[in-house]
A and B are shown apart, each in its own frame.
Chain A
Amino acid sequence: DAKTTQPNSMESNEEEPVHLPCNHSTISGTDYIHWYRQLPSQGPEYVIHGLTSNVNNRMASLAIAEDRKSSTLILHRATLRDAAVYYCILRRMNSGNTPLVFGKGTRLSVIA
């Protein structure tokens, strides 16, 4: 699997937008970009994924660079509950149940 690079940690004020970056310069044309997050004392949970176009769901937005070598997870209004470790993961298209390959992720702190 292609590798991703994320900052170790980031900090945000409550109710402000948060932009979490991820670099994946060796991404292949068939790799989807997935984001998972892990809240304290919980297992990881799926956030969002995309291939080329920007994606939105109730949790977040995913902005993908035109060359696909980087992406940004956007939390529009951070809450204290969003404090977690965020993982950016590449998965081959139609990979079915291939395992997730986690890096160390970005630890997001949210300040009230």
Chain B
Amino acid sequence: QKEVEQNSGPLSVPEGAIASLNCTYSDRGSQSFFWYRQYSGKSPELIMSIYSNGDKEDGRFTAQLNKASQYVSLLIRDSQPSDSATYLCAVNERANFNKFYFGSGTKLNVKP
């Protein structure tokens, strides 16, 4: 069984700070990595994807991937109370890239 591990949190940061969310995965051959944001009672929403080692920036969000360490992270700069949500890490399976494995999510609280 492929695993995607995330700290469940909650991670509390003050407004304006950088929030750092981490995810590790067990399938060394995984090719694609995604971050989803899920507000309470809502469905997951794609916010970032990353496929190559290194950093990928999109507005206030930066995804970081290190395939050697099987580690992917999401940084949220200038955190806002509206960023308070659960962040899900998703990793595709090497043998069947149609299949994703999701972590259980990290709950982020941004305090005004």
| A and B are interacting partners | no
- Residues of A bordering B, CB below 8 Å: none
